[in-house]
Amino acid sequence: MSTTEGPTIELDGEVVAYEPGETLYQIATRARREVPTLCYDPRLEAFGGCRLCVVEVEGIRNPVASCTTQATPGMKVRSSTPALEGHRRTILELVASENRQIEVDPLSGHSSGEFAALARRYELRPGRFAGRKSGASRHDDDNPFILRDYDQCISCYRCVRVCAEREGDYAISVVNRGFATQISTEFGGLLKDSACTFCGQCVQTCPTGALADRKALRAVDLPEPIAKTRSVCTYCGVGCSVDIVTKGERVVGVQPAMDGPANLGALCIKGQFAFDFVQHDDRLKTPLVRRDGELVPASWDEALDRAAAGFRAVVDQHGPEALYAIASGRAPHEASYALQKLMRAGWGLNHIDNCSRA
């Protein structure tokens, strides 16, 4: 007997409560079952294409896809049986046989390791179905952001669906069926001639690395391990959450934070691909002071002394009313707070503004 108020199902013999409308996959995941998926992305409409997430439901003859099946009260569900596991392995082996390579570099994208992780979990015997490779790679698409290696495509359509459902751009679609299935732009051309905005969402949802982050992959040979640091995009006021991808002391890429409160995993071209200004050679690396008309490198002590002396001289001659400060809309709070405090606590003046009037 269930003690809960709401509807329940029986999952592997255990009574589990659920919210009406939930799918078997959602319930099973919440109950810590590791149901494998390939075509599933929690941000997208369930698609039911890969059939890896199948479960057995009492009274239904064939296994059902858990990601598309809504629970009904009292359903008796088994999430893992020898038959299901065998079925899942067969699917994975079939899919794997069409791909050139299973393991891909994790720099490829946020979800790029999903397929390889499943291959390891099911200890796939490579070569069992080894045959023709499906999908024609678009090596001619020389855009600097998105690698399109369709030899690696498993036709999960996550890229197509994220572009349509989340971005509303419909830049890519599925053409042909079966073995000839192909992900393509409207006229089969380059992404830059399509509706693509290079937001990189397709790259970040692709589970195989067929679509990959070309900029991040420039760092594939760096020996250090990959690390990720949660931060916020530096460009517009939407404030998308990102993971800054680093190797050692190098920023090598950016990945969206799937749980970012402002963006829910979305990014645009700037947040996704315009990160490499940070370690650009043009960065100011030392203080500079003007000497004989030229700006020349200086120590912090010298530069700060010069800066302070210049303000003091102006105050001595013209009073503090001759000073003015402009804060940046790009720098963090601490910069603006410190600057306004300098003007107010230091000179007693409200001679400060920011660049929003630009």
3-state class of 119 per DSSP?
Answer: helix
Minimum CB distance to ligand SF4, residue 150 (Å)? 6
Tell which one of 28, 55, 57, 67 touches ligand FES (CB under 6 A): 67
Amino acid at 241: S
Going by their DSSP bridges, the two strands 172-175 and 182-185 should be labelled as: antiparallel
- Report phi then psi at 290, rounded to 5: -85, 120
335 binds, among other proteins, ligand SF4, ligand FES, none (CB under 5 to 8 A by kind): other proteins
CB nearer ligand SF4, residue 148 or residue 247: 148
Residue of 21, 15, 17 whose CA lies nearest to 6: 17
- Consecutive H or E run containing 185: strand 182-185
Give CA–CA dist 157/266, Å, rounded. Answer: 17
List 51, 133, 250, 351, residue binding ligand FES (CB under 6 A): 51
Round to whole Å and give the CA distance between 231 and 47: 32
| Choices 33-41, 266-274, 300-308, 346-354 (CB under 6 A): range interacting with ligand FES | 33-41
Binding mask 263-302 for other proteins (x = CB under 8 A): x--xxxxxx-xxxxxxxx-xxxxxxxxx----x----x--
User: Could you tell which of ligand SF4, ligand FES, other proteins, none binds residue 49, using a CB distance below 5 to 8 A set by kind?
Assistant: ligand FES
With CB cut-offs between 5 and 8 Å by kind, which of ligand FES, other proteins, ligand SF4, none does residue 154 bind?
ligand SF4
Residue of 129, 130, 116 lying closest to 36 (CA atoms) = 116
**Residue 40 binds which of ligand FES, ligand SF4, other proteins, none (CB < 5-8 A, kind-dependent):** ligand FES
Q: How far is the CB of 148 from other proteins (least distance, A)?
A: 15
Q: How many residues bind ligand FES (CB under 6 A)?
A: 12
Which residue from 108, 155, 204, 255 is in contact with ligand SF4, where contact means CB under 6 A? 155
Binding residue (CB under 6 A) for ligand SF4 from 35, 159, 191, 343: 159
The C-alpha torsion from 346 through 348 and 354 to 358, rounded to 10°, is: -130
Query: Which whole-number Å values give the CA distances from 352 to 237, 302, 329, 342, 346, in the listed order?
Result: 22, 25, 13, 10, 12
Q: What does the alpha-carbon distance between residue 101 and residue 209 come to, in Å, rounded to a whole number?
A: 10
* CA neighbor of 274 nearest in space, from 169, 166, 145, 163: 145
Q: CB atoms < 10 A from the CB of 236, how many?
A: 10
Binding status of residue 43 toward ligand FES by CB under 6 A: no
Residue 45 in the binding site for other proteins (CB under 8 A): no
Footprint on this chain of ligand SF4 (rule: CB under 6 A) = 153-159, 183, 205-206, 208, 210-211, 233, 235-236, 238-240, 263, 267-268, 270-271
Footprint on this chain of ligand FES (rule: CB under 6 A) = 37-40, 48-53, 65, 67
